[in-house]
């Protein structure tokens, strides 16, 4: 997704499109593209516009969960989206 303010209408529309794209690929059985489902740590930092210490605190508070994938921290894209939406609802 392109970089936009997190609360803009366009951002929410893009988020819904991304979720629909992931859901459609999953329903079609197309799980070959891990980019649809996984985000590397640097991508999460850039997407959320936060620093590493903030991301560490999110993991510590169990807002986000990191998975070790061949020695790298990766995040499920849908979990990142879900965490954003939960934080906006609070």
Task: Establish if 2 belongs to a structural domain.
Answer: no
More confident site: 65 or 5: 65
| CATH number of the structural domain spanning residue 68 | 1.10.1660
Contact (Cβ atoms closer than 8 angstroms) between residue 69 and residue 38: yes
Phi then psi dihedrals of residue 68, to 5 deg: -85, 115
Structural domain boundaries, residue 38: 31-89
Condensed to tens digits (0 to 9), the pLDDT of residues 20-68 reads 887 777 777 766 666 667 899 999 999 889 999 999 999 999 999 999 9
Q: How far apart are CA 84 and CA 64, in angstroms?
A: 10
Q: How far apart are CA 35 and CA 10, in angstroms?
A: 22
Task: Establish if 68 belongs to a structural domain.
Answer: yes
Task: Establish if 49 belongs to a structural domain.
Answer: yes
DSSP state of 68: E
The pTM for the full model equals: 0.69
41-48 and 77-89 helices, crossing angle to 10°: 30
Task: Establish if 65 belongs to a structural domain.
Answer: yes
């Amino acid at each position: 997704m392109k970089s936009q303010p997190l609360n803009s209408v366009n951002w929410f529309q893009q988020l819904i499109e991304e979720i629909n794209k992931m859901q459609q690929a999953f329903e079609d059985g197309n799980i070959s593209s891990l980019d649809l489902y996984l985000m590397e740590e640097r991508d999460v930092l850039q997407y959320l516009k936060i620093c590493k210490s903030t991301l560490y605190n999110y993991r510590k508070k169990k807002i986000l969960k990191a998975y070790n994938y061949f020695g790298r921290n990766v995040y499920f894209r849908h979990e990142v989206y879900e965490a954003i939406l939960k934080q906006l609802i609070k």
